[in-house]
Structure 1
Amino acid sequence: MIRHLVLFKLNEGVSRDEPRVAAGAQAFQELGAKIAEVVSWECGWNVTDRPVAYDFAINSSVADGDALQRYLAHPAHQEAVGPWGEFATWVIADYEI
């Protein structure tokens, strides 16, 4: 099993209540149910205010490396993540559990 973690940081001057950001968050809320390879899916906005905190997180899992590659290449994933490049940066970690 592989855990796929993604942390998003909104760009300077971008707020989570902007329509494009709200649409991006909604797309991620719905994404886990659209891709068969996803075993578990959680995502949401950070609830703390600390300088090192990121703004939005995805915590998901897939069966193995092949499933991770299929998830990443899936059109629904590409569609959901695409707009985030306009208003955020992110870091990821994929590790075995």
Structure 2
Amino acid sequence: MIRHLVLFKLNEGVQRDDPRVVAGAAAFRALEGKIPELRHWELGWNISDRPIAYDYAINSAFEDEAALKTYVEHPAHQAGVALWREFATWVIADYEF
């Protein structure tokens, strides 16, 4: 199995209630059930107020690297990524477990 973690940081001055952010979060929530390769899917807003904390996280899992690649290239995923590019940066980690 491959764990795919993504941590998002909203750009300076961007708030969670910004309509672009609301649309971006909705786009990622909507991925559950749309991409068969997803074996585990959870996401949400960070509740920590520590200055080093990121704002939003996605924790997902895939059977193998081919399934992860299919997800990454899926049009619905790419549409969500395009939205987030407008107001955030992110880091990822993919590892076997």
- With the shorter chain as reference, the TM-score category is over 0.9
Instruction: Indicate the residue corresponding to 1:69 in structure 2.
Output: 69
CA offset at residue 46 of structure 1? 0.4
Structure 2 unaligned segments of length 5 or more: list them.
Answer: none
Higher helix share: 1
Instruction: Indicate the residue corresponding to 2:59 in structure 1.
Output: 59
**TM-score of the superposed pair, with normalisation by structure 1:** 0.97
Instruction: Indicate the residue corresponding to 1:38 in structure 2.
Output: 38
Distance in 1 (CA, whole Å) between partners of 2:43 and 2:26 is 10
2:72 is matched by which residue type in structure 1? L
Tell me whether 86-95 or 25-34 shows the greater mean CA deviation: 25-34
Distance in 1 (CA, whole Å) between partners of 2:19 and 2:37 is 29
- Structural RMSD (CA): 0.6
CA offset at residue 33 of structure 1? 1.6
The answer on 1:80 being equivalent to 2:94 is no
Work out the number of aligned pairs and report it.
97
Misfit runs of 4+, over 6 Å: none
Structure 1 unaligned segments of length 5 or more: list them.
Answer: none
